[in-house]
Amino acid sequence: MPQHRTVEVNGLRLHLAEEGEGPLVLLLHGFPEFWYAWRHQLSPLAEAGFRVVAPDQRGYGDSDRPAAPEAYSVLHLAGDVVGLVKALGEEQAVVVGHDWGALVAWQSALLRPDVVRAVAGLSILPMPRGPVPPLLSTREKTGGRFYWNYFEEPGVAEAEFGKDLDRTFRRLLYGASGDRPQPPAPPLVPPGGGFLDLAADPDPLPGWLTEEDIAAYVAAFGRSGFTGGLNWYRNLDRNWELTAAWEGARIEVPALYVVGDRDRAFPGDDGIVPTLSGTAPHHRDPVVVRGAGHWLQQERPEAVNAALLDFLRSLA
């Protein structure tokens, strides 16, 4: 069973779940998640000889939640990765991320290859810096209906998600999973509606998701709220400005990409390698988990664990 504790990193208290001994592996969750998203990976990786640490990243779970929105830039988040490695008494780590955690993992590997000795991203590919700020781009293309823009306005998504936490997580976790009956709708919030209108209520819950899991998410976000996680989105344009110096830079450490073919983020079998080759040239063969949706390490833990262990063992 994982042990829980808090460490101080960059002036913040970060809660983490930790298990095992050996080379350090950090597991970074996405939105709206917390350490619990990695519950199926902690023990298998620890039993294979690794020290596995899954933090609640800043703004989430039982970690600190700075009030200032600008405290959630990607440089702050990558700084937390570097600080956490040092706080754990290590010099290097393999960093694995899912969803937003994948973006932080890719960015940390790009900025600090001396600390991040290898990187794995689940669901989200490395995203090269575009020609214009991303929130501006999506606003112009969709009239502000893209979900990133919906999340921009302080208090709006918080009110929607916080109104009924049980309903929120049933819809979010089922709606982006591989078990939904239809392909995911484009993430465009309908006029006068909300983000949860893009999903349906599960009846019954899919086999990978239990009532206990829903209760764990409800309890965690009942304590933390959603503002910290939503502030990550509110920094997308700021991140574009802050990372100008790294435009065109490539990730030079070993890399792995894992994705479900029913994930909205799935670029298609032919779209993965060209992107990886341009951004992370030392990548291994990507792993596509058939039938899995966005929450693939929860939906298909055996396949994800096998892919991660193959990658970790290859680094020796």
Nearest CA among 234, 229, 223, 308 for reference residue 29: 229
Q: How many Cα atoms within 13 Å fall on the side-chain side of residue 199? A: 23
- Rg over alpha carbons for the chain, rounded to the nearest Å, is 18
Indicate which residue of 56, 64, 99, 263 is catalytic: 99
Is 99 among the catalytic positions?
yes
CB 157 within 8 A of CB 230: yes
Structure token digits, residue 75: 């440089």
Q: How far, in Å, CA of 31 to CA of 151, rounded?
A: 12
Which residue stretches of the chain are H helix? 42-47, 74-87, 100-111, 134-142, 147-152, 156-163, 165-175, 211-224, 227-233, 236-242, 272-279, 296-299, 301-314
Q: Which residues are catalytic?
A: 99, 294
